[in-house]
Amino acid sequence: MKTIMTGILAGAALALTISAASAQAPRSTLDQVKARGVLNCGSNTGLAGFGVPDAQGNWSGLDVDYCRAIAAAIFDDPSKVKFIPLTAQARFTALQSGEVDILVRNSTWTMTRDTTLGIAFLATNYYDGQGFMVRKSLGVASALKLEGAQVCTQQGTTTELNLADFFRKNNLKYTPVTFATADETRSAYEAGRCDAFTTDASGLYSERLKLSRPDEHIVLPEVISKEPLASAVRANGDSQWANIVKWTHYAMLNAEELGVTRANLAQSAQSNNPEIRRLLGVEGKLGEGIGLTNDWAARIIRHVGNYSESFERNVGASSPLKISRGVNALWSNGGLQYAPPIR
Amino acid sequence: MQAAPETAKGSPWYDPKIRGYVYQALLISVVVYVGYAMVSNVSQNLARQRIPFGIDFWDTQAGFDINQALFPYTARSSYGDAFWVGLLNTLLVAAFGIIFATVLGFLIGIARLSRNWIVAKAAMVYVEVIRNLPLLLQLLFWYKAVLEPLPRPRDSIAIPGGALLNNRGLYVPEPVFGAGAGLIGAAFLLAVFGSIAFYIWAKRQQAASGRIYPIGWVSFGALIGLPALAYVVTGGPVSFNYPAMGGLNVRGGITVYPEFIALLLGLTTYTAGFIAEVVRAGILAVSKGQWEAADSLGLPYTRTLSNVVIPQALRVIIPPLTSNYLNLTKNSSLAVVIGYPDLAQVFLGTVLNQTGRAIEIVGITMAVYLTISLLTSAFMNYYNQRMALVER
């Protein structure tokens, strides 16, 4: 009997050791990413201009560039990113559970999400607002004329909530038809299941390109909500990681503001302007303060470019979407994009 | 009395009884430890990430609308209400699916054994095609098949009786009950109970005297006739709210959404393929002697089937039939891909995403599906016991 008791006790001791080991404090996210050699980036399953893989599996888009910029700052190599496509439903759970290190997936920054999901929103890389798309043949020129309409939308989004608010506020009746993914939503709208299709305005332009006859559809003028699309990380007190994510975006904005581009990076490094010299790490040791090298911002600009370059390439004039900067212009040009100074 | 020589040897390790206890104890401690590890791991991680835990979200205002709700639901309702909307929608499609799949499955299963070559082969092709294609694909097919050929609301197809059909759904007239309409309901209930009583009486008569009464016709007549009589007597208190085109869409009436139609079609045809095989196997399990005995008594084919073969076949059919019912109910969660607001779509999809309470909501959803399945199973076991061969 003695041997049995000893055996059970030994087993219990072993069990306790294992659980004690698993309860140890985790390493910082930056260390994990460095050890892994690749950044896990939660991305859209396919939204042209923001995050979409091409036929060869190469990802591109404004959100994608954000992740590439972080990889460039850490590894000096923008290809060290693994893009993990997430549906609207799966995205926050994937971030919470640690499946991704960062979520840049046109996700709206709201108070509920910021305070109750165990995640923290950091920097708005695109200011958006929700709109409606309808068939021209419907003869509707304003969202206020959508009384009795059936509206296709994606479930589990702020879009779904704003839609309910908008019709309630204007005392209009409507019927929502919700789908799990953007593709299902769009194809149902295209099949005539709904009178209107609603999502963020940028998404409407992007989805319209995928319709068989884009010209037969118009985007209504009303913008019914504020949709700051922002990057998010786990709210686990890892402020170093939060700083890297936040300041990557700010570095791209500051670079635009100071006129530093991919093309003139080498000359800019010779500049006398102390702001540029600090940004590019010629002076000061700001990069080391966030666990990176001092040329972290120079790496970002070399591989990805400044915010304007990324914007124009993915959603602006040099892209099929042709979205104007609008509220996403720099504050100095009357827009909302404003970065704290690097000093 | 004689002392067992094994225990006398000393070491308890060689006592099979004690050894058994040790193995049991080990197994229990492993199970307890795994459970403990899971709970503590989850609670530690939740605490570290400052994610609240609990179902306090249940009474919070949901803020989103759902198109098909069996009770009044608006964006002002709570997440708890959204849960019930989803659950009722799941039960609705599962109930209709089970009824239709059973009927269709029995017909096809019997058709596979038909002496008519074309009927038998057609049933075989149906079963082989349906069973060998993924259900997800079939649902997408049905959704497209429902949506694509139907016209836009402005060009709705008018169905005799006042119903309208377009790619937004089937709109049927909604009965509006006036004073005295309760009598019609009472007449209908009376007809239902009367039919059941007549069925029992007729079966007893048949057992005693061998005389067969036309149960089907009598029940049918009562179910239609009595309410109709009440309708005339009370002076026609029921009016109808007919659907009509208004604004962008059809207004009025009761709407059957295309998602429901597509899901029901998909689940019914798919499950019927499996039920058909179960039915065929059940019928083939009845020994040939039973057919021959019925033949020699001069019973016609349909009566042999319904009174001799199927009652015996049911004993073989019911257990696998239960599995198919459970599968149908669980498969209804594939509704997600075609936008039917069932439990999985509303609760596991939207509510989870709006609240972020993944563990709680996944847990509740699992518990609900498990409960539905166990209840179905329990009912079918009860039915199976009643149908089982009574051995004397």
* Residue at A220 is within a domain: yes
- Does B1 or B270 have the greater pLDDT score? B270
A184:B49 CB<8 A = no
Taking contacts as CB-CB distances below 8 angstroms, the residues of chain B near A28 are: none
Domain check: are A186 and A57 in the same one?
Answer: no
* Residue at A202 is within a domain: yes
Could you tell me the pLDDT band of residue A25, with boundaries at 50, 70 and 90?
Answer: low
Report the number of distinct structural domains present in chain A.
Answer: 2
Q: Mean per-residue pLDDT for A122-127? A: 95
Residue ending a domain, among A171, A198, A225, is A225
Average pLDDT, chain B: 88
Evaluate whether A120 touches A111 at the Cβ level (below 8 Å): no
Q: How far apart are CA B118 and CA B115, in angstroms?
A: 9
Side-by-side strand order, sheet with A81-86 = A81-86, A39-44, A102-108, A227-234, A119-128
DSSP B67: S
Q: How far apart are CA B377 and CA B385, in angstroms?
A: 12
A188:B246 CB<8 A = no
Domain check: are A163 and A43 in the same one?
Answer: no
Domain check: are A249 and A323 in the same one?
Answer: yes
Domain check: are A123 and A147 in the same one?
Answer: no
Residue B163 has pLDDT above 50, yes or no: yes
Domain check: are A233 and A324 in the same one?
Answer: yes
Could you tell me the pLDDT band of residue A253, with boundaries at 50, 70 and 90?
Answer: very high
Helices (H) and strands (E) in chain A, counts: 14, 12
Domain check: are A124 and A233 in the same one?
Answer: yes
For chain A, positions 89-118, list CB contacts with chain B under 8 A: 89, 92-93, 96, 112-113, 116-118
Taking contacts as CB-CB distances below 8 angstroms, the residues of chain B near A88 are: 353
* Residue at A185 is within a domain: yes
Could you tell me the pLDDT band of residue A16, with boundaries at 50, 70 and 90?
Answer: very low
Most B-contacting residue of A28, A172, A177 (CB-CB within 10 A), to test interface: A177
**A71 contact partners, CB below 8 Å, separation of at least 6:** A38, A39, A77, A78, A79, A80, A81
Tell me the pLDDT tens digit for each residue of B326-339: 999 999 999 888 98
Evaluate whether B235 touches B65 at the Cβ level (below 8 Å): no
Q: How many CB atoms lie within 10 A of CB B205?
A: 13
Domain check: are A234 and A89 in the same one?
Answer: yes
Identify the domain containing residue A85 by its residue range.
29-128+228-333
Tokens of B261: 């139609």
Q: Across-strand partners of A41? A: A83, A102
Average pLDDT, chain A: 89
Could you tell me the pLDDT band of residue A281, with boundaries at 50, 70 and 90?
Answer: very high
Domain check: are A140 and A196 in the same one?
Answer: yes
Q: Which of A15, A88, A150 sits opposite B249 (nearest CB)?
A: A150
Could you tell me the pLDDT band of residue A17, with boundaries at 50, 70 and 90?
Answer: very low
**B351 contact partners, CB below 8 Å, separation of at least 6:** B57, B62, B79, B82, B83, B361
Q: Is the ipTM here above 0.95? A: no
* Residue at A24 is within a domain: no
* Residue at A318 is within a domain: yes
Size of interface A-B (CB pairs under 8 A): 131
B337:A176 CB<8 A = no
Q: What percentage of residues in chain B have a pLDDT greater than 70?
A: 96
Nearest to B130 by CA among B157, B115, B114, B109: B109
Residue B276 has pLDDT above 80, yes or no: yes
Question: Å from A251 to nearest chain B CA?
Answer: 28
Q: How far apart are CA A295 and CA A280, in angstroms?
A: 6
A138 in B contact zone (CB under 8 Å):
yes
Locate the chain A residue with the closest alpha carbon to B351. A156
* Residue at A57 is within a domain: yes
A89:B248 CB<8 A = no
Q: Mean per-residue pLDDT for B342-370? A: 91
Domain check: are A124 and A204 in the same one?
Answer: no
Question: Å from B369 to nearest chain A CA?
Answer: 20
Q: Across-strand partners of B78? A: B61
Most B-contacting residue of A1, A2, A3, A4 (CB-CB within 10 A), to test interface: A4
Q: Which amino acid is at A137?
A: S
CATH of the domain at A284: 3.40.190.10
Domain check: are A237 and A324 in the same one?
Answer: yes
Tell me the pLDDT tens digit for each residue of B46-105: 887 777 788 889 999 999 999 999 999 998 999 999 999 999 999 999 999 999 999 999
Domain check: are A247 and A301 in the same one?
Answer: yes
A92:B356 CB<8 A = yes
Question: Å from A176 to nearest chain B CA?
Answer: 6
Residue ending a domain, among A225, A242, A274, is A225
Residue ending a domain, among A225, A248, A270, is A225
Question: Å from A261 to nearest chain B CA?
Answer: 38
Residue B1 has pLDDT above 60, yes or no: no
Domain check: are A237 and A218 in the same one?
Answer: no
Residue A334 has pLDDT above 90, yes or no: yes
B345:A178 CB<8 A = yes
pLDDT recorded at residue A118: 87
For chain A, positions 71-90, list CB contacts with chain B under 8 A: 88-89
A236 in B contact zone (CB under 8 Å):
yes
Q: CATH top-level class for B79-173+242-387?
A: mainly alpha
